[in-house]
Amino acid sequence: MTHEIDAILIDDAMLSLDELARSCQVTREWVIERVQCGLLLNEESIHADPATWIFDSHCFIRVKRIIAVEKDFECNPELAGLVTDLIEEIEFLRTRLLAAQLNKD
């Protein structure tokens, strides 16, 4: 029997810039550029020291989506960000629809 492993919730511990970049196999500069484009974090973060940035689960999943869209369609970060925004909106609306039990079919 394997021993039990404790899982840490990212939203409790958060990820640093280096951890996020390493985990998603992109460079720090790649992440910094997307923050500066307004695709990650918030407006205030753009002017803050990147060493102080922290990333939650939502950012982590968002980065993975942006990477996939940029790679699959060879598009620029802004377009990948727009597609990711739309994917998140679809996800939100589908969840809403399910919660409202409107799509029983």
Partner 1 sequence: MEFKDYYKTLGVPRDATAEDIKKAFRRLARKYHPDVSKETDAEQRMKEINEANAVLSDPEKRAAYDQLGQGRGFQAGSDFQPPPGWDAGFEFSGQGFNGAQAADFSDFFSELFGRQTGSGTRHAHHRMRGEDHHAKIMLDLEDTYQGTSRSLTLRMPKLDSQGRTLLTEHTLNVRIPKGVHAGQVIRLAGQGGPGMAGEAAGDLFLEVQFNPHTRYRIEKKDIHAALPIAPWEAALGATVKIPVPDGWVEVRIPENSQSGRKLRLKGRGIPATPPGDLYLILEVVLPPATTQKAREFYQTMAQELAFNPRQHLGV
d(CA 26, CA 103): 39
Selected from 18, 27, 29, 98, the binder of partner 1 by CB under 8 A is 98
Query: Quick one: DSSP state of residue 15?
Result: B
Give 19's contacts (C-beta < 8 A, 6+ positions apart): 55
- Residues 31 and 72: their CA atoms lie apart, in Å, by 18
Could you give the maximum distance between any two Cα atoms of the chain, in Å?
Answer: 50
Q: Which is nearer to partner 1, 3 or 47 (CB)?
A: 3
Q: Is 54 in the site for partner 1 (CB under 8 A)?
A: no
The only residue of 8, 44, 51, 52 in contact with partner 1, by rule CB under 8 A? 8
Please report whether residue 65 would count as binding partner 1 according to CB under 8 A.
yes
Amino acid at 89: E
Rule CB under 8 A: say whether 27 interacts with partner 1: no
List 2, 42, 43, 49, residue binding partner 1 (CB under 8 A): 2
Are the CB atoms for 66 and 84 separated by under 8 Å? yes
Interaction site with partner 1 (CB under 8 A): 1-13, 22-23, 25, 57-58, 60-61, 64-65, 72-73, 87, 90-91, 95-96, 98-101
